[in-house]
Amino acid sequence: MISYTASQAAMLAPQRIRVNCELNHVDVVLCCDPKAFTHTNPLAGLKKGGVFIVQSNRTEEDLWASFPLWMQKQIVDNDIRVFYLDAVQIAREEAGSADLQLRMQGIAFQGAFFAASPT
């Protein structure tokens, strides 16, 4: 199951999800907002050993340093695998027009999801 954070409320699951609440046991969190941790906990509901994929144009070290200490601790304590990509830059390079760039960001995240998801 996937859970998008904050403003994106799309979910994928083998069956239709018939609940209107926060998900508590997800395998993967896609975070298109690299500053999501300033207004929410993007790791909430992510199970131990889960995957966190975040939008970032930073280096690995800079991205890690940008996470608050509570988030770093949660990642380490729960064996969360963190992946990052610059979907905005990918979209700029690959989409021929500005109106397609937002869609291309979603496609880049979809590719990251399939590459990083547990088998």
Comparing 72 with 8, which gets the higher pLDDT? 72
Distance between CA 93 and CA 51 in Å, rounded? 26
Q: What digits encode the pLDDT tens for the residues 24-51?
A: 788 999 999 878 888 889 999 899 999 9
Q: What digits encode the pLDDT tens for the residues 82-96?
A: 999 999 999 999 988
Q: Report if pTM > 0.75.
A: yes
- In degrees rounded to 5, what are phi and psi of residue 16? -60, 135
